[in-house]
Chain A
Amino acid sequence: AQTVTQSQPEMSVQEAETVTLSCTYDTSESDYYLFWYKQPPSRQMILVIRQEAYKQQNATENRFSVNFQKAAKSFSLKISDSQLGDAAMYFCVEYNFNKFYFGSGTKLNVKP
């Protein structure tokens, strides 16, 4: 079975500071996709950033960037200039074989 591990159940960051959320995954496949989704208290699961495994270049999306280390099976999310609206549960997700595999989530608190 695929395993996605998020070792940080909860993290806090000061507004305008930078925070990094960790994720490791375990797959034997060569072709897969990785995502970070956020789920605020409103329940809506929102895509933050996406990475195709065959691409070596790390994905970036405005204040969000990833550090994708394929050999190490590591996929961390860096949030720069943190904003109060970034407070949410963040899920690391792997897709292959028609399934989205979710990590256990990291709750991010943003302090004003």
Chain B
Amino acid sequence: DTEVTQTPKHLVMGMTNKKSLKCEQHMGHRAMYWYKQKAKKPPELMFVYSYEKLSINESVPSRFSPECPNSSLLNLHLHALQPEDSALYLCASSQDRQIITEAFFGQGTRLTVV
């Protein structure tokens, strides 16, 4: 199994809603990442988890709250988002921060904030 699974694939939420994005991998990877990608732009790093601990936060607004409950699962909790937060949210995983073969990416969640 070399997949990173993200759910949901599409999400529409209001600015007062609370929602969560989910990412799952069963490759035994110990590094997991959240990226935000706007249309026709490269992905921008948001968060990095290493061995279930948050290791990098790229100054992301607090309305985005990551969580890594176990080594296979990564969540991104969303609250009070703005329309400009509408984007494709990509999850990725890699074997380890020190051992890099490649990053495996999920198909992303297309988020629309209305």
Binds A, one of B16-24, B73-81, B99-107: B99-107
Known A-B contacts A45-B90, A91-B42; the reply to A98 vs B56 at CB < 8 A is: yes
Contact among B88, B90, B102, B110 with A47 in the assembled complex (CB-CB below 8 Å): B102
Query: A104 and B105: CB pair below 8 A?
Result: no
Which chain A residue lies CB-closest to B33? A100
Minimum CB–CB distance from A85 to chain B (whole Å) comes to: 17
Residues of A close to B101: CB separation below 8 A: 50
Residues of A close to B90: CB separation below 8 A: 45
Cβ contacts B39-75/A at 8 Å (1 or 0 each): 0111101001010000110000000000000000000
A64 on the interface (CB 8 Å rule)?
A: no
Cβ contacts A12-56/B at 8 Å (1 or 0 each): 000000000000000000000101010000111111001000000
| B contact face: mostly helix, strand, loop, or mixed | strand
B97 on the interface (CB 8 Å rule)?
A: yes
**Cα A43 to Cα B45 with chains together (Å):** 17
Chain A, interface residues (CB within 8 Å), range? 10 to 19
Query: B45 and A100: CB pair below 8 A?
Result: yes
**Cα A102 to Cα B44 with chains together (Å):** 8
Residues of B within 8 A of A (CB): 31, 33, 40-43, 45, 48, 50, 55-56, 88, 90, 92, 97, 100-105, 107-108, 110
Residues of A within 8 A of B (CB): 33, 35, 37, 42-47, 50, 91, 95, 98-100, 102-105
Known: A98-B55, A103-B42. 10 other contacts (CB 8 A): A33-B100, A44-B108, A50-B101, A91-B43, A95-B103, A98-B48, A98-B56, A99-B56, A100-B92, A102-B43
